[in-house]
Structure 1
Amino acid sequence: MKHIKKYKLTLLLVLLGTFVSCNDFLEVEDLDELDITTVFKTEEDLTLALNNLYLTLPILDLEDNLYSEEPDQAYVVPYFWTDDAIHRNISGPGTNASEFNWQATTRALRSFYRYHNIADINFFLEALPDAEFATESNRERFAAEARFFRAWIYESMAFAYGDVPLLTNTILPSEQPSQAPRQEVFGFVISELDEIGDMLPESYDGEDIGRITKGAVLALKARAYLNAIGWASDKSAMYAGAEAACESIINSGVYAMVDGIAGFEEQFTSASDLVSPETVLATMYVPEFRTHRYARQIALRGTWRGTSGTLTNQRRSGYTSDFIEEVQTINGLFPKDDPSYDPANPWVDRDPRLTVSVVLPGDILPATSGINDTYEFQPHPNIVPSTDDIDGVNNPTGYGFKKYLDYSLAVLNNGDVDLKLIRYSEVLLMYAEALAGRGEDGSALIYLNMVRNRVGMPSYTAANLPNVTRGTTGDDMIDAILLERRYEFAGEGPQRWFDIWRYKLGDQVITSVYGIPQSETEPGDLIGPKYSGGNSTLFERIWSDNYYLLPIWQTFRDANPNLDQNQGY
């Protein structure tokens, strides 16, 4: 049986890697005879331990693992903290924090506080210098990979929580560190990424494909710089840092977008795993060992559930009407501004990414009766009543998640598609944003249009940028770039959360959530009444500016009284 064995050193949980190269570097080997006094001594030991650190990358999940000793970072959860999506909440209010009734005991808000991973990484780095290496050049690369994971975690924590303890070495169980200033943590992240970039190759081949590359380091650096826009005093320096990092990636020639809407859709299937030139960084999934349950979580009640149908019992995530109605037509206009828009046939002639990202009313899907049978998804309670009725315990808006949904899985709990953490299109849009932030709108437009044109959307010109009125930064070019990010990354990660938080858009965009129109004849009705978040008052959300920092989970503060709580909690 493939598994990970765990060992404790004092009170720190130290995960010893149980991976060994075979078909790829995440193939698993059972190590029953390991002893803490004999491991971390050789290059083989450190190879296994390093491979285990790849588990610190986030997984494709809608919630953290309530019953896990070390809950995985649920990468999609922050998407429910935006204007684009909502979750009906699994196992009670607060699990996904969709309702914005945030408290220090809201479990979902702890997902980025990851000192168990920091302990593993620091222990690994302390053991590295004294280990015997047959290939000495690997020692530096191993250190760089481990430091990347640490930088990833600290960047996430600083963005989510602000001031956090900065630990770069293992500590005694009795130590209770205080928080370091956010600026200090950010400076550490940037300095680490600066130092390790040249220690890593631009690409790998053979069994090492999927390891951390120089491109991943630069992409994380660009994210870090842009995510600091919301609080940094020198915003120009943040844009400049992101611009330089993205420029290096682009000039490397290593990455490219795959052509067409088919190329876009492919990024969320196993056809893109390990081979797509669009993947800058991904979490790799190993069948029967590191799989995801995402397909189960987003599959609709009336759809095929695999051979073990009872596993498909969630179905509670949905896009908001605000998002659906702001996806442009193929003419590059908002539906409300396009005379050709037909509310009776609202899904035709729209941005092609809409139908790749969203399960829409009227879609024909595999039915529960069999993978070869079909049925029409219809969430409207008055039209062909079905198990997908929005008034039931179902998708709360009538617009379902679709990326990474794979009905060909025998069990929808065992998805094995790689989660694309950073795609090349994000690098291009970060570059555009950095250029726009420095006043170089003409150059920014080139890279913005590259992403649009890939899927057949028309180019913008300086004179026809979209008129964004809800959620505006005050800069037309940056508004257009953030709008494009909404279309490009819908339902796949935290990008929209990043954008709202760093540009302080919360009071403009976080409002009550609505779903499908109440009209029985016009599923794209833009002016009539709509159903409210599954006909529930739970999603009458009220924004508070203290949400720009998450609360330190109360359990962590109980264990360490030196942790100060963020204001408002």
Structure 2
Amino acid sequence: MKKIVLYTTLLSALLFFNSCNDEDLELTNPNALTTDQFWATPSDAEQGVNSIYAMFYKDGLWSRWMYFRMDLTSDEGFSKSPWIELADWTRFNYVNYNFWEGNGVTWRDTYKAIFRCNQVLANVPEIEFTDPARKESILAEAKFLRALHYFYAAELWENIPLVLDPSTPGDLPPQKTKQEIFTQVETDLNEAFQALPLTWAGEDIGRPTKGAVKGFLAKLYMQQRKWSEAKAAMDYLISGEGAMYSLVSNYKDNFTDLNENNPESVFEIQFGGQRLGGTDEAANAAVSNTRAQFFAPRSIGWSDGQARNWMVGLFKEEPNINGGIDERLRHTLFYADIEADFGDLIYGRHWEWDADEAWFRKGQRDYYRNNEDYYSQVNYRMIRYADILLMYAEALNELGQTTEAYQYVDLVRARAKMAPLATAHPEIGSSHDQFLARLKKERVLELCGESVRWLDLKRWGDLETQAGVDAIAERDPDFNGFVVGKTIRMPIPQTEVQNNPNLQQNPGY
């Protein structure tokens, strides 16, 4: 049975802060507990840390808009939404820096999540526990989650405030560089590792483990091109104490609600469809994922997000060992010939697709229903073991150990019934550049639509030169609007810059 990390709604005064005027500061709620009154018992601490997980269910983060940033802005996806401003924010046409759905709400919810982390880290140490180990693990969870949110914020905006204490409305936090943010992320993750368990059981499944920490450390180091450090983090998962992960036999099991928290999952967000409220702080607030509604094909959902058709061609470049099509295509994309290729009726119906159309299938619920809504219960696998194996191969290649890297790519290919890499592509040999070029394709074939591609493009340096961007634009014309040195990061919401003299707008904006 699926285990959902639910939360208890905290007092609004404890949940978030925002810019406000003097009159706002004078308003009080006579029925509300003060901070000192709330943070008194272990139960309060549990509610506090659970409220951080609740932020995953907010519009600005992993319920909705983060997928627009991580998938549609990359060369894997795009938007033909009739909501022009929304579509513009997936093609680097940033006019209104305060556009809520494209920028403002993600900034707000990111710092709201960080505020909740800081509340736990500031107040829980003063609470007496009969179980000191649980106290330490609560603090470790808060550090892990703060690191997670800062990691993605640094990749989106890069130059942002670093807030490590509970904020007050009058605070004007100074701006830090991306590297300074990453340094704090590393500190938080290393400290969290010490107190987190190898596994959780029962209703605690979904909280971060030691393996999840190492997985995020690997991502952090990879983005900084610290190959040795990244390899060391992944050694823990592949051959060290945390080597308890494996690829599930059925690739599809990573994208439905039927086999969640399986051995391939290093960290996943727990979603549920049992509460049909909004995304506010009400008692019936949803704990669901709305990606399926926004990325569903025409007449099924809003169809605001589509996949680029070039990926269909990539899947068909190389046959599997049986001479057929790479089976991962079937579970990754909806496309014009899917019924002819695999016999699949999408959402129980025949489709007439335009020849150049494709849609993301991962996370969609066509395996048991004929429509989508705002309440998908399908968990989002933020880090899969397959991702770890491919990153490990990349790190080995960068460390001059190309021939040793093959075996980790082959593990991923074998599940898809693809021939060993050396057999299928003998031209690679021990060439670093050719191995990396092939690995870039392997990551699309395995991880397409899983919100990793934007990070990959940044890590590989493909967005740092005009030649690199031009090459991407050949398969994704939205990149004709990409400006080197500018749109590799989003603009900071202009209201934040105006309200905080310690913030400067990002370069080029």
TM-score range, shorter chain: 0.7 to 0.9
* Aligned position for 1:265: 252
* Aligned position for 2:273: 287
> 1:131-210 counterparts in 2 under 5 A?
131-210=127-206
> 1:367-382 counterparts in 2 under 5 A?
374-379=349-354
Pair 1:12–1:299, CA change in 2 (3 A): closer
* Aligned position for 1:501: 458
Paired with 2:407 and 2:15, the residues of 1 have a C-alpha distance of: 55
Paired with 1:207 and 1:485, the residues of 2 have a C-alpha distance of: 32
* Aligned position for 2:481: 542
* Aligned position for 1:566: 506
State the secondary structure of the residue aligned to 1:93.
helix
Pair 1:462–1:242, CA change in 2 (3 A): farther
Paired with 1:556 and 1:55, the residues of 2 have a C-alpha distance of: 24
Paired with 2:94 and 2:472, the residues of 1 have a C-alpha distance of: 14
Q: Is the 8 A contact 1:76 1:492 kept in 2?
A: no
Q: Is the 8 A contact 1:403 1:491 kept in 2?
A: yes
Paired with 2:192 and 2:151, the residues of 1 have a C-alpha distance of: 15
Pair 1:52–1:246, CA change in 2 (3 A): same
Q: Is the 8 A contact 1:144 1:196 kept in 2?
A: yes
Verify: 1:78 aligned to 2:76, yes or no. Answer: no
* Aligned position for 1:321: 309
Pair 1:201–1:134, CA change in 2 (3 A): same
1:135-173 Cα deviation digits (max 9, x unpaired): 121111000000001111111122222222211112332
> 1:472-551 counterparts in 2 under 5 A?
475-493=433-451, 495-506=452-463, 507-511=469-473, 539=478, 541-545=480-484, 546-551=486-491
Deviation at 1:86, TM superposition (A): 1.1
1:159-203 Cα deviation digits (max 9, x unpaired): 222222211112332121121232222111112212221211111
Q: Is the 8 A contact 1:442 1:462 kept in 2?
A: no
State the secondary structure of the residue aligned to 1:479.
helix
Identical positions, percent: 25
Paired with 1:97 and 1:496, the residues of 2 have a C-alpha distance of: 17
Deviation at 1:553, TM superposition (A): 1.5
Deviation at 1:563, TM superposition (A): 0.7
User: What runs of 5+ residues in structure 1 fail to find an aligned partner?
Assistant: 14-32, 230-237, 306-311, 334-339, 341-347, 381-396, 468-472, 515-532, 534-538
Verify: 1:214 aligned to 2:176, yes or no. Answer: no
Deviation at 1:74, TM superposition (A): 2.1
Paired with 1:189 and 1:362, the residues of 2 have a C-alpha distance of: 44
* Aligned position for 1:43: 42
Pair 1:559–1:95, CA change in 2 (3 A): farther
Deviation at 1:72, TM superposition (A): 6.2
Deviation at 1:119, TM superposition (A): 1.4
* Correspondent of 2:91 among 95, 99, 108: 99
1:93-151 Cα deviation digits (max 9, x unpaired): 24562222134345424565322221111111111011121212111100000000111
Higher helix share: 2
Q: Is the 8 A contact 1:255 1:424 kept in 2?
A: yes
Paired with 1:3 and 1:135, the residues of 2 have a C-alpha distance of: 21
Q: Is the 8 A contact 1:281 1:422 kept in 2?
A: yes
The amino acid of 1:502's aligned partner reads: R
* Correspondent of 2:365 among 393, 403, 406: 406
Pair 1:273–1:178, CA change in 2 (3 A): same
Verify: 1:354 aligned to 2:329, yes or no. Answer: yes
The amino acid of 2:233's aligned partner reads: A
Q: Is the 8 A contact 2:63 2:289 kept in 1?
A: no
* Aligned position for 2:399: 438
State the secondary structure of the residue aligned to 1:272.
coil
Verify: 1:301 aligned to 2:298, yes or no. Answer: yes
Deviation at 1:547, TM superposition (A): 1.5
The amino acid of 2:361's aligned partner reads: K
> 1:384-403 counterparts in 2 under 5 A?
397-403=356-362
1:346-387 Cα deviation digits (max 9, x unpaired): xx93322112111121445668xxx7x63233325xxxxxxx
Q: Is the 8 A contact 2:393 2:406 kept in 1?
A: yes
State the secondary structure of the residue aligned to 2:272.
coil
The amino acid of 1:500's aligned partner reads: L
- TM-score with structure 1 length normalisation? 0.74
Paired with 1:458 and 1:151, the residues of 2 have a C-alpha distance of: 38
Paired with 2:442 and 2:353, the residues of 1 have a C-alpha distance of: 28
Residues paired across the two proteins, number: 459
Paired with 2:15 and 2:449, the residues of 1 have a C-alpha distance of: 41
- TM-score with structure 2 length normalisation? 0.82
1:269-312 Cα deviation digits (max 9, x unpaired): 111223x101111110122231122332233235xx5xxxxxx3
* Aligned position for 1:115: 111
Q: Which moved more, 1:399-408 or 1:426-435?
A: 399-408
Paired with 2:458 and 2:160, the residues of 1 have a C-alpha distance of: 18
Deviation at 1:453, TM superposition (A): 1.1
Aligned-pair RMSD on alpha carbons? Answer: 3.0
Pair 1:87–1:190, CA change in 2 (3 A): same
Q: Is the 8 A contact 1:202 1:213 kept in 2?
A: yes
Pair 1:458–1:357, CA change in 2 (3 A): same
* Correspondent of 2:12 among 7, 17, 20: 7
* Aligned position for 2:21: none
* Correspondent of 1:464 among 414, 417, 425: 425
Paired with 1:400 and 1:561, the residues of 2 have a C-alpha distance of: 43
Paired with 1:540 and 1:476, the residues of 2 have a C-alpha distance of: 24
Q: Is the 8 A contact 1:79 1:491 kept in 2?
A: yes
Q: Is the 8 A contact 1:557 1:563 kept in 2?
A: yes
1:62-94 Cα deviation digits (max 9, x unpaired): x748xxxx9965235321122222111362224
Pair 1:540–1:564, CA change in 2 (3 A): closer
Verify: 1:225 aligned to 2:212, yes or no. Answer: no
The amino acid of 2:17's aligned partner reads: L
The amino acid of 1:431's aligned partner reads: Y
Verify: 1:415 aligned to 2:413, yes or no. Answer: no
Pair 1:64–1:191, CA change in 2 (3 A): closer
The amino acid of 1:256's aligned partner reads: S
The amino acid of 1:293's aligned partner reads: T
The amino acid of 1:551's aligned partner reads: P
State the secondary structure of the residue aligned to 1:281.
strand
Deviation at 1:409, TM superposition (A): 4.3
State the secondary structure of the residue aligned to 1:350.
coil
State the secondary structure of the residue aligned to 1:282.
strand
User: What runs of 5+ residues in structure 2 fail to find an aligned partner?
Assistant: 1-6, 19-30, 276-286, 464-468
Paired with 1:166 and 1:376, the residues of 2 have a C-alpha distance of: 49
Q: Which moved more, 1:504-513 or 1:545-554?
A: 504-513
Paired with 2:78 and 2:353, the residues of 1 have a C-alpha distance of: 19
Q: Is the 8 A contact 1:328 1:351 kept in 2?
A: yes
